């Protein structure tokens, strides 16, 4: 691994020395960095996934075209995730996750990009959701005494054309995530809950998966862009969103 800051995985940059307290399997999972020549592939099962509240599902269906939310609910649903470390078009070290959730009769795509932003001598992680990256949240991370990674999304804002709009506290929902290695099962496990203070649980997904690294194919790795060029560097074109956002 490179000793330069740019070659350091974004989760290690954000956590600092606490990164070394993660379970070794989690350190491996979050160690992708731009220029590594590899990407991550996870395949597993969500024991629960989606929205349990039927009356909320029509609202979530409106957002499903953005590939950031979805109205279905299911149990024991197969899924696949790809993780790609790259530079975004603005030169920020980033990690794009592309999830396929295989509901019966329909596959949902759920995607986001987490970018490292330098701030006050440290690193702030900003997560951009959906294929147009119109919704952003800050990520707050901590390592539990057991070596698990916990994350909380905070301070959501929407980018609508030239407008940057903070989501009012009364409407904002927060995501609470925890990821860990289940040594007994030999699997990675993840649990995410999206909560809104007036509604309660909006969305949940929890399950287990296997994970491996694979080499990027030369034609996929050779996405030549750069800061301001409009294309990411090191991200296959099929994993690029329809729009990038530079604002934080």
- pLDDT for residue 167: 86
State how far the Cα of 194 lies from the Cα of 2, in Å rounded to an integer: 35
- pLDDT for residue 59: 84
Mean pLDDT over 214-242 rounds to: 75
pLDDT digits (tens, 9 = 90+) for 71-114: 999 999 999 999 999 999 999 999 999 999 999 999 999 999 99
- pLDDT for residue 9: 97
> Tokens 């009356």 map to which residue?
55
State how far the Cα of 43 lies from the Cα of 96, in Å rounded to an integer: 16
How many Cα atoms are found within 13 Å in the side-chain-facing hemisphere of 126? 22
> Is it the case that residue 224 has pLDDT exceeding 50?
no
Which has more pLDDT, 222 or 60?
60
State whether the Cα torsion 148-39-133-229 is positive or negative.
positive
pTM: 0.92
Q: Are the C-beta atoms of residues 19 and 12 closer than 8 Å to each other?
A: yes
- DSSP state, 233? B
Q: Are the C-beta atoms of residues 117 and 126 closer than 8 Å to each other?
A: yes
User: Helix count (H) and strand count (E) of the chain?
Assistant: 4, 11
Closest CA to 112 of 192, 171, 172: 192
Mean pLDDT over 172-181 rounds to: 94
- Structure tokens given for 196: 């809104």
Q: Are the C-beta atoms of residues 128 and 245 closer than 8 Å to each other?
A: yes
Closest CA to 40 of 14, 68, 9, 69: 9
Give the DSSP per-residue string, 103-146.
ETTEEEEEEEEEEEEEETTEEEEEEEETTTT-EEEEEEEEE-TT
CA dist list (Å): 139 to 66, 123, 152, 168: 20, 11, 6, 18
pLDDT digits (tens, 9 = 90+) for 16-36: 999 999 999 999 999 999 999
């Amino acid at each position: 691994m490179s000793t330069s800051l740019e070659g350091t995985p974004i989760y290690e940059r954000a956590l600092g020395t606490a990164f070394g307290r993660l379970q070794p399997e989690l350190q491996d999972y979050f160690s992708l960095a731009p220029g590594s020549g590899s990407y991550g592939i996870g395949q597993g099962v969500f024991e629960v996934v989606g929205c349990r509240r039927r009356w909320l599902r029509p609202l979530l269906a409106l957002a499903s075209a953005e590939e950031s939310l979805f109205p279905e609910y299911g149990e024991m649903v197969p899924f696949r995730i790809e993780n790609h470390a790259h530079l975004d078009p603005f030169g920020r070290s980033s990690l794009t996750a592309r999830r396929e959730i295989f509901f019966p009769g329909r596959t949902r795509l759920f995607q986001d990009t987490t970018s490292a932003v330098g701030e006050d001598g440290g690193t702030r992680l900003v997560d951009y959701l959906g294929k147009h990256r119109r919704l952003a949240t800050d990520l707050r991370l901590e390592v539990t005494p057991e070596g698990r990674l916990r994350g909380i999304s905070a301070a959501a804002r929407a980018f609508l054309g030239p407008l940057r709009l903070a989501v009012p506290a009364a409407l904002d929902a927060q995501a609470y995530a925890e990821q860990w290695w289940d040594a007994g099962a030999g699997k990675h496990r993840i649990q995410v809950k999206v909560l809104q203070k007036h509604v309660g649980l909006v969305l949940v997904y929890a399950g287990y998966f296997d994970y491996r690294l694979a080499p990027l194919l030369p034609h996929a790795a050779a996405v030549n862009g750069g800061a301001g060029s409009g294309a990411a560097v090191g991200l296959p074109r099929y994993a690029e969103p329809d729009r990038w956002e530079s604002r934080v």
